[in-house]
Amino acid sequence: MRRIVALSIVALVFNGWISKEVMAQPLVPLPPSPPVPLSNIQTPAKVMLGKQLFFDPKLSVNGSISCAFCHMPKAGYADPRPVSLGVGGKRGGRNAPSVLNAAYLDRQFWDGRAGSLEEQAIGPLTNPVEMENPTNQSVVDRLRKIPAYKKSFQEVFGGDVSIDRIGEAIAAYERTLLTPNTPYDRFLMGKKTALSASAQKGFTLFKGKARCVLCHSGALLSDQAYHNLGVPQTGTLSIDVGRYAFSHNPSDKGTFRTPPLRNVALTSPYMHDGVFRTLGKVVDFYDKGGGSSPYKTKDPLLRPLHLTKQEKIELVDFLLALTGETAAEKNQP
In terms of domains, do 154 and 52 share one?
yes
The secondary structure of the chain in percent helix, strand, coil, rounded to multiples of 5, reads 45, 5, 50
- The residue segments making up the domain with residue 209 are 2-30+180-320
In terms of domains, do 66 and 167 share one?
yes
Q: What pLDDT, on the 0 to 100 scale, is given for residue 23?
A: 43
pLDDT in tens, 131-144: 999 999 999 999 99
Q: Rounded CA gap, 64 and 169, in Å?
A: 21
How far is CA 90 from each of CA 56, 129, 244, 320, rounded to the nearest angstrom? Answer: 19, 6, 23, 32
Other residues' Cβ atoms within 10 Å of the Cβ of residue 74: 11
244 is a domain residue: yes
Q: Is 228 exposed, middle or buried (0-12, 13-18, 19+ CB in 10 A)?
A: buried
328 is a domain residue: no
333 is a domain residue: no
Is residue 26's pLDDT more than 80? yes
Give the pTM. Answer: 0.90
Q: Rounded CA gap, 211 and 76, in Å?
A: 26
Other residues' Cβ atoms within 10 Å of the Cβ of residue 79: 23
In terms of domains, do 110 and 143 share one?
yes
In terms of domains, do 148 and 207 share one?
no
Q: Rounded CA gap, 108 and 175, in Å?
A: 13
In terms of domains, do 154 and 206 share one?
no
What sign results for the dihedral spanned by CA atoms 130, 131, 133, 139?
negative
Q: What pLDDT, on the 0 to 100 scale, is given for residue 11?
A: 42
pLDDT in tens, 37-78: 999 999 999 999 999 999 999 999 999 999 999 999 999 999
Other residues' Cβ atoms within 10 Å of the Cβ of residue 8: 15
Q: What pLDDT, on the 0 to 100 scale, is given for residue 217?
A: 97
Q: What pLDDT, on the 0 to 100 scale, is given for residue 65?
A: 97
Q: What pLDDT, on the 0 to 100 scale, is given for residue 248?
A: 97
Domain stops at, among 157, 174, 191: 174
Q: What pLDDT, on the 0 to 100 scale, is given for residue 196?
A: 98
Residue from 21, 118, 119, 130 carrying the catalytic annotation:
130
At position 123, the amino acid (one-letter code) is: G
In terms of domains, do 251 and 313 share one?
yes
Count of domains forming the chain: 2
Q: Rounded CA gap, 214 and 22, in Å?
A: 6
Is residue 195's pLDDT more than 60? yes
17 is a domain residue: yes
In terms of domains, do 60 and 22 share one?
no
332 is a domain residue: no
Domain stops at, among 131, 148, 174: 174
> Coil, strand or helix: which one is 135?
coil
| Angle at CA of residue 178, ends 206 and 273, nearest 5° | 60
Residue 174 is among the residues annotated as catalytic for this protein: no
326 is a domain residue: no
> Coil, strand or helix: which one is 57?
helix
18, 296 in Cβ contact below 8 A?
Answer: no
9, 213 in Cβ contact below 8 A?
Answer: yes
In terms of domains, do 164 and 189 share one?
no
Q: Rounded CA gap, 162 and 144, in Å?
A: 9
The mean pLDDT value of the chain amounts to 91
167 is a domain residue: yes
| Angle at CA of residue 109, ends 104 and 115, nearest 5° | 60
pLDDT in tens, 200-252: 999 999 999 999 999 999 999 999 999 999 999 876 667 899 999 999 999 99
In terms of domains, do 146 and 194 share one?
no
In terms of domains, do 255 and 147 share one?
no
Domain stops at, among 158, 174, 190: 174
Per-residue confidence band for 167, with pLDDT thresholds at 50, 70 and 90: very high
List helix spans (H) across 38-102: 44-54
pLDDT in tens, 286-299: 999 999 999 999 99
272 is a domain residue: yes
CATH number of the domain residue 216 falls in: 1.10.760.10
In terms of domains, do 302 and 237 share one?
yes
Percent of the chain with pLDDT over 70: 90
- DSSP-assigned letters across all residues of 297-316: TB-TT-------HHHHHHHH
In terms of domains, do 192 and 292 share one?
yes
